[in-house]
Amino acid sequence: MKTHLADTVLSLKQRQVILPAAYPIGLEMDKAISEFATDTDAQLQVLLNVHESFGGTFLLPVWDRMIEAEAFGTPLQVDAKLPIGAAGTMVASLRDVEALIIPRPGHKRTTVTLAVVRLLKERLPEPKPFVLGIMNGPLTVARQLIGEEHWDEILNQQPEVLDALLDKIMRFLPDYAHAFHFNDADGVVLSEPLEESLTAEQRERFSLRHVQRLIQQVQNPRFGFILHNPLADEAQLAW
């Protein structure tokens, strides 16, 4: 599907970058990561400073690898100078998957990323950049919920647990992406970097088919996806 975002990017004469400058700029402003990762006003100040300092075609909220996993209940480890991480795991069995409650957009810190997009569109001067949301892909969220201790075992020995978990995650992610569109985002960056150790079958089964379904359900001419996956091939780029 053609989108305004894709058409504009492809028409530019120079390659554009999405500058992930929020963390260093926030620290320069003497704001703890735990502050601007959890407070809408603090993050908004940081991002307005980023745009004033660097300009650019794109601007997006602070990338946070725990946003969606936290919404599902993962406890957090918060540090003033380090990105937020997991303090525990949620899933080690099918019973754990069944116990998960599917969140709604706006639950916990998803409210921060959604509000920041809307406020940026309101407050940035013309000409405005593309204001993008950012969200983690289905397999990325699954890995945060499972944790490193159980990841290899579930991936390779209990794939049915991972399938069930991904089915639940995919009952949330499309609604979350729609919420970015509702809050006036021009699109989202979907972060789903896959490891080379995954087989082609695992990539398709646990990630690519879900990513494709997510994009097909949500993307429209005024709302596009930018897939962050270094292992993407031409077939995926055609979505």
Q: What is the pLDDT of residue 181?
A: 98
**Phi–psi pair at 190, nearest 5 degrees:** -105, 110
Closest CA to 54 of 84, 28, 17: 17
- Name all domains of the chain by residue range, CATH numbers in brackets: 4-237 (3.20.20.210)
The token pair that represents 74 in the structure block: 């993962």
User: CA-CA distance, 50 to 53, in Å (whole number)?
Assistant: 5
For residue 118, give every residue at least 6 positions away whose Cβ sits within 8 Å of its Cβ, in sequence order, or none. Answer: 183, 184
For residue 181, give every residue at least 6 positions away whose Cβ sits within 8 Å of its Cβ, in sequence order, or none. Answer: 218, 220, 222, 223
For residue 191, give every residue at least 6 positions away whose Cβ sits within 8 Å of its Cβ, in sequence order, or none. Answer: 63, 65, 134, 135, 136, 137, 140, 228
Per-residue pLDDT of the chain (239 residues; tens, 9 = 90+): 656 777 777 677 676 667 678 889 999 999 998 898 999 999 999 999 999 999 888 999 998 999 999 999 999 998 888 889 999 899 999 999 999 999 999 999 999 999 999 999 999 999 999 999 999 999 999 999 999 999 999 999 999 999 999 999 999 999 999 999 999 999 999 999 998 889 999 999 999 999 999 999 999 999 999 998 866 655 555 55
Q: What is the pLDDT of residue 56?
A: 87
Q: Which of helix, strand or coil describes residue 41?
A: helix
How wide is the angle at C-alpha 20 spanned by C-alphas 56 and 116, nearest 5°? 80
pTM: 0.92
Q: What is the pLDDT of residue 222?
A: 94
User: CA-CA distance, 201 to 13, in Å (whole number)?
Assistant: 37
